[in-house]
Amino acid sequence: MAIFRKLHTAFWQDAKVIEELTPEDKFFFIYLLTNPATTQIGIYQITKKQMSFELGYSIESINSLMDRFENHHKLIKYNPYTREIALKNWGKYNLDRSGKPMLDCVKKELEEVSDISLIEYVSKGIKKEEIKDIFKSYLNKDNADDIEDLCKSKKLNDDTYNESYHDTFKDLGQEEEKDKEE
């Protein structure tokens, strides 16, 4: 967990920020860049419930913001199974220096990523070749082909809210089908 994250002042001059992001989008984006769950690699596990609690927004608002950032602005990718988020341009602004402690941290954090496609997503923006090579080495490892199989075989976090939420809806659908059959 990070103590601080840098936010470039160029953020406010970025054409996408100026022309496309609403004030609410800007606030949400700054949160995604600086919240306590962020990692050095720009891929981290966070639940929508956690975002909702920390920002004071409803789950519906978080769902709307996440959809907007993923599908309209194309600034993030979120895996609802692993509850991992990847920030598209993280590498461009934050993976710009190296050194043994930094490289060791990057390697350690890449080991913890469950959805390998998020590593590829972030790696596209990395300019520093030494760090980009580390990301590429994780893309070439033998990994699970199907993320759902990976999720089923591994306990990914302690978020019982989301687990029970999904399980409840599955059970309700099954109960309704059983009632119709009878």
Q: How far apart are CA 81 and CA 136, in angstroms?
A: 23
Residue with structure tokens 């954090």?
109
**Per-residue pLDDT at 146:** 46
**Per-residue pLDDT at 102:** 87
**Per-residue pLDDT at 43:** 95
Contact 134, 123 (CB under 8 A): no
Q: pLDDT tens for residues 152-179?
A: 554 444 444 444 344 444 444 555 555 5
CA atoms within 13 A on the CB side of 180: 6
Backbone angles phi, psi at 167, to 5 degrees: -65, -40
- Bridge partners for 45 per DSSP: 84
DSSP single-letter state for residue 154: S
**Per-residue pLDDT at 166:** 45
- Averaged pLDDT score across all residues of the chain: 81
Tell which residue, 95, 71, 75, has the closest CA to residue 28.
75
Contact 106, 174 (CB under 8 A): no
**Per-residue pLDDT at 164:** 39
**Per-residue pLDDT at 162:** 46
**Per-residue pLDDT at 80:** 95
The three-class DSSP label of residue 155 is: coil
Q: Global pTM? A: 0.75
Q: Count how many residues are written for the chain.
A: 182
Q: How far apart are CA 161 and CA 155, in angstroms?
A: 14
Contact 37, 109 (CB under 8 A): no
DSSP single-letter state for residue 132: H
Q: How far apart are CA 43 and CA 76, in angstroms?
A: 10
- How is the chain split into domains, by residue range? 9-144
**Per-residue pLDDT at 181:** 58
Residue 98 corresponds to which tokens in the numbers above? 């190296």
Tens-binned pLDDT, residue by residue, of the chain (182 aa): 457 788 888 889 999 999 999 999 999 999 999 999 999 999 999 999 999 999 999 999 999 999 999 999 999 999 999 999 999 989 888 887 778 888 899 999 999 999 999 999 999 988 888 888 899 888 876 554 444 555 555 444 444 444 434 444 444 455 555 555 55
Contact 125, 92 (CB under 8 A): yes
DSSP single-letter state for residue 1: -
Residue 161 corresponds to which tokens in the numbers above? 């809210």
